[in-house]
Amino acid sequence: MSSLNLDDFTDLIERPDGGTRRDAEARRERQIVPPGSLGRLDDLGEWLAAAQGAVPVRPVDRPRVVLFAGDHGVAGLGVSARPAGSAVELVRDVLEGARPVSVLARRLGVPVRVVDMALDCDAEALPAEVVRYRVRRGSGRIDIEDALTAEEAEAAFRAGVAVADEEADSGTDLVVLGDLSVGGTTAAGVLVAALCGTDASVVTGRGGIAIDDLAWMRKCAAIRDALRRARPVLGDQLQLLATVGGADLTAMTGFLLQAAVRKMPVILDGVVGAACALVAQRIAFRAPDWWLAGQASGEPGQAKALDRMALEPLLDHGVTVGEGTGALLALPLVQAAAALAAELPEKPGDDEKD
């Protein structure tokens, strides 16, 4: 029996401050550029003010990229363009600055944190700070077995909560959330299909590196089989994650919920983050008010999940690489919205006109 009570998050998570948002809207009415003329930047600025509880909005100057990493046993079925168990190569490339997210983070001056939850490699192969929260080596093949034991799922969830607390305590004011996984989009597809009550074919995409038709059919079949195992446990979100999620997805779900508790905004990236957000929404319905959808990845599962949560992507550039790259591209837009909301001067008063 788990000692973790997910219902607590419903009570702990508050919505961004409505009164502050109204004050931000009033301030926007007084600025020299007509309200609405900046498009979604107006809404973003007001959302940030509400999230911060501050008017004028403070600059977003301490963002951080947080990437949860793991290998998924289902990748052994040939559902990914990458070999099963090879996510450690992605992690090494990120740490060495050789992945797209690394290049963009370096250019934007944003630190990157990688958290290994279930990579299929020896823990000694990576720095201690990366493997500190590892739950297991790889995850179960979700079409025929559980991804995690109940104890592992709780440990992974608590790890995500702990990472969120660490970021909030260190002064991080916004997180760009992503994953480094092989087989992760298959697990994400199962979660989305289960929670949206749809079939495997509706949520099965081509992954970060587009797979061919045969691999897509294998992926669709794997999601279909895992979906049969997921449906009986839909009423228990932690058990759902243990059954068809994985340690990285479970940790991301815990992270998203605790980030909302700590009033720390998060930009979501692709289908994996969207799937975890959908699970988190089932646990605490107010949590999505603290998240932004950074980009449309083109994955049908992501589109389905974001539509269910009423989150509209900020960008649509066809970025499918994952690892937080698309979400990081949206960060300058959010920072621009904060700057405009805070720094545009107000219109002269009527007495000054006379």
Kindly state whether residues 331 and 343 are assigned to the same domain.
Answer: no
Kindly state whether residues 29 and 146 are assigned to the same domain.
Answer: no
Kindly state whether residues 111 and 163 are assigned to the same domain.
Answer: yes
Q: Are strands 291-293 and 174-182 parallel, antiparallel or unpaired?
A: unpaired
Q: CA distances (Å), 345 to each of 32, 34, 56, 210, in order? A: 6, 12, 11, 47
Residue 162 CA to its chain's centroid (Å): 16
Is 38 a domain residue?
A: yes
Q: Are strands 174-182 and 266-268 parallel, antiparallel or unpaired?
A: parallel
Between CA 117 and CA 176 the distance in angstroms is: 18
Report the number of distinct structural domains present in the chain: 2
Kindly state whether residues 126 and 188 are assigned to the same domain.
Answer: yes
* pLDDT 10s digits, 67-114: 999 999 999 999 988 999 999 999 999 999 999 999 999 999 999 999
Kindly state whether residues 39 and 78 are assigned to the same domain.
Answer: no
- The residue type of 291 is W
Q: What is 27-95 written as a DSSP string? A: HHHHBSSPTTTTTHHHHHHHHHHHHHT-SSPPP---EEEEEEEEE-GGGGGS-SSSPTT-HHHHHHHHH
Kindly state whether residues 223 and 344 are assigned to the same domain.
Answer: no
Q: Pick from 240, 136, 260: which is nearest to 188 by CA?
A: 240
Between CA 145 and CA 148 the distance in angstroms is: 9
Is 3 a domain residue?
A: no
Is 325 a domain residue?
A: yes
Q: CA distances (Å), 301 to each of 77, 117, 190, 238, 266, in order? A: 20, 23, 9, 20, 19
pLDDT at position 322? 87
* pLDDT 10s digits, 286-314: 999 999 999 999 899 999 999 999 999 99
Q: Cα-flanking dihedrals φ and ψ of residue 205, to 5°?
A: -110, -170
Kindly state whether residues 49 and 134 are assigned to the same domain.
Answer: no
Cβ neighbours, 10 Å, residue 308 = 16
Q: Helices in the chain by DSSP H: which ranges?
A: 8-12, 18-30, 40-52, 87-95, 100-108, 128-131, 150-169, 184-196, 200-203, 213-230, 237-244, 247-261, 271-283, 300-309, 325-343, 350-353
Domain carrying residue 207: 63-335
pLDDT beneath 70: ranges in the chain: 1-2, 208, 350-354
Q: Find the CATH number of the domain harbouring 174.
A: 3.40.50.10210
Reading phi first (left if > 0) and then psi (alpha if -120 to 50, else beta), residue 324 is in: left
Q: Are strands 266-268 and 112-118 parallel, antiparallel or unpaired?
A: unpaired
Is 196 a domain residue?
A: yes
Is 179 a domain residue?
A: yes
Is 2 a domain residue?
A: no
Do 56 and 165 form a contact (C-beta atoms < 8 A)?
A: no
Cβ neighbours, 10 Å, residue 316 = 11
Kindly state whether residues 95 and 223 are assigned to the same domain.
Answer: yes
* Residue of 299, 323, 343, 346 with catalytic role: 323
Q: Terminal CA-to-CA distance of the chain, rounded, Å?
A: 73
> Would you call 323 a catalytic residue per the annotation?
yes
Kindly state whether residues 32 and 153 are assigned to the same domain.
Answer: no
pLDDT at position 348? 85
pTM of the model: 0.95
Is 322 a domain residue?
A: yes
